[in-house]
Chains A and B, each alone.
Chain A
């Protein structure tokens, strides 16, 4: 068992615990590298199938590559795909330039997720967040309860010892389950390479019209993601680049920058 084997086994154990303990389980798939790796782990946990719905929260501002990738692999992997949208807010023209970014994330992601959970009666959700992404995510539990209003009670999280995870929930709670919390960005890419996991090519560098080479390091909505300068055109080059960079992963993500605690506020309201 090498390092990646250990990470993988722990993740599979967590995924299976969630499947065993919670009846209406679903997985959130943003189509980014992390949740695609998580999806791969789910397939491994159940020997090639995904025995629960896979949810994509669609803000309408995603890259076209995201939609193409989603539809291709939903078919190839035989996924029960559920697309969640806040139709009302989209119809009203909500966007990052209308109001502020905080409100846009809240409406098109968090509220859309709330609506999707209510509509499908999900009791637990698998999410591909990692501790090394953000200081707030470093504080998460593997099994993390959210109340009816979606609030994360970060000042009073339940204890979580060894591999014993929360297996009972209050009536109006839903659980966020984080099977790859213990992975780093580097681990994800090493694993993508080893397992040959298909990944959207937004992550790979391309030459721009002005001759610069750029790629996305973290992918959300097209409107709020900035590409970084990079010549990493494949997974191997990306792994090399990561080993030397000192720039943080989410540096291209606008919502992290509005103010020091925006991530905390977003998460406490139920943001992924």
Chain B
């Protein structure tokens, strides 16, 4: 079962062809179940449309009738090299929160841009979100080359504009591929319509990417998810986010700063000797410490995460409910949940143009990015997003729902 799996998101402006590209990938890799194309053809006939590849992903009645993707969807296909999970993301600005939901699960991304229309508002906003999510494996596909007569000049023009923008947000695309999703150029097979393009097809490019590497080699981070009392045992349940739990090893719990060592590593089928990064497990410890959800266990001899009540983060506000600086808000980071105040919104930024809208702003609203100094009511255990992503990314909750997602940019503030 060691077949490789990779999750990638398809993002970009509305109507630039995300769903069509996915349909084409399915069709060209022979991944559609029997009868699917016939079913889609029938629905298209009923709606009086030409056959629409996009309908393979757009499943809601409203999506098909209006020709827009409303929500993100995940689906599966396979090449000779590996299995893929495709995460389709809606292009409409209104559904940006659904795009972020999808993209937050991805290991790589395809940014699609219409060769005819060129770079648009959501092209930039989506690229900016990829940058915040630190997705470094990015392919740019320039779609609808058939509409610009497969001209290299047009490709170069749009490419130049896009690369300038991507440079400014630190995205270096691994490939830039001219395609036509509708006609099938450079998706699974090389296009004869663009002899000037000597690079890889979309499938070849995807196959060069690597799945997320395991964090086994990094120092231990074990956020406690819950504490169970079963048969006189007190089990600290959680998932090893990095490093390895080994029976007998010392543990330091943060932020409480208490020490103990691992007595047993529990499993349904009996005790284990170790649990590696990625594993959901449970341990008992030698000392009767008061440990609860939110504590992070680490190795006292190695690099430790930061314990602080103050840090700088960058957030993307995605709720229709605006945020006022004076409000208290709930911060969730790994299994920690704390109330916090916003000390300062240093910058309020337009998520598409990247223009600074206001310094020392008084609030944030939908689609705005904020660079914020947070002040938490009690200490939190954090790290930079690039060090241990699980301790460097957070959500903000207001009322019942998540209103914003964010990353830790500076964990140590004076």
Contact = CB atoms under 8 A, between A and B. Distances in A.
A4 B1 contact: yes
A139 interface: yes
Interface string B72-101: 111110000000010000000000011011
A45 B100 CA distance: 29
Interface residues on A, range: 35 or more
B43 interface: yes
Given A47-B230, A136-B59, A190-B1, A131 B101 contact: no
Contacts of B57: 135, 138
Nearest to B237: A16
A47 B100 contact: no
A12 B281 CA distance: 9
A115 to B, nearest CB: 25
Interface string B26-42: 00000011111001000
Contacts of A134: 59
Given A161-B104, A162-B104, A138 B400 contact: no
A16 B3 contact: no
B368 to A, nearest CB: 15
A17 interface: yes
A264 interface: yes
A28 to B, nearest CB: 21
B239 interface: yes
Given A16-B280, A161-B104, A131 B397 contact: no
B401 A158 contact: yes
Contacts of A184: 76
Interface stretch (A65-73, A99-107, A166-174): A166-174
Contact of A161 (B39, B43, B73, B101): B101
A3 interface: yes
Contacts of B225: 13, 16-17, 20
A167 B332 contact: yes
A160 B98 CA distance: 8
Contacts of B268: 43-44, 47-48
A228 to B, nearest CB: 12
A159 interface: yes
Interface in B210-231: 214, 225-226, 228, 230
A159 B62 contact: no
A160 B276 CA distance: 26
Interface residues of B, number: 63
B226 A19 contact: yes
A163 B33 CA distance: 31
B342 interface: no
A194 B60 CA distance: 36
A248 interface: yes
A158 B400 CA distance: 9
A141 B101 contact: yes
A264 B266 CA distance: 42
B230 A155 contact: no
A261 B43 CA distance: 10
B332 A155 contact: no
A80 to B, nearest CB: 15
Contacts of A135: 56-57, 59, 73
A6 B107 CA distance: 15
Contacts of B304: none
B123 to A, nearest CB: 21
B395 interface: yes
Residue from A131, A158, A166, A264 having most chain B Cβ neighbours under 10 A: A158
A63 interface: no
Interface in A247-264: 247-248, 251, 260-261, 264
24 contacts: A1-B279, A3-B3, A5-B279, A16-B225, A17-B225, A20-B225, A47-B266, A131-B73, A131-B76, A138-B57, A139-B72, A155-B60, A159-B98, A159-B401, A159-B405, A162-B395, A162-B405, A164-B332, A167-B397, A169-B400, A248-B35, A251-B35, A260-B43, A264-B59
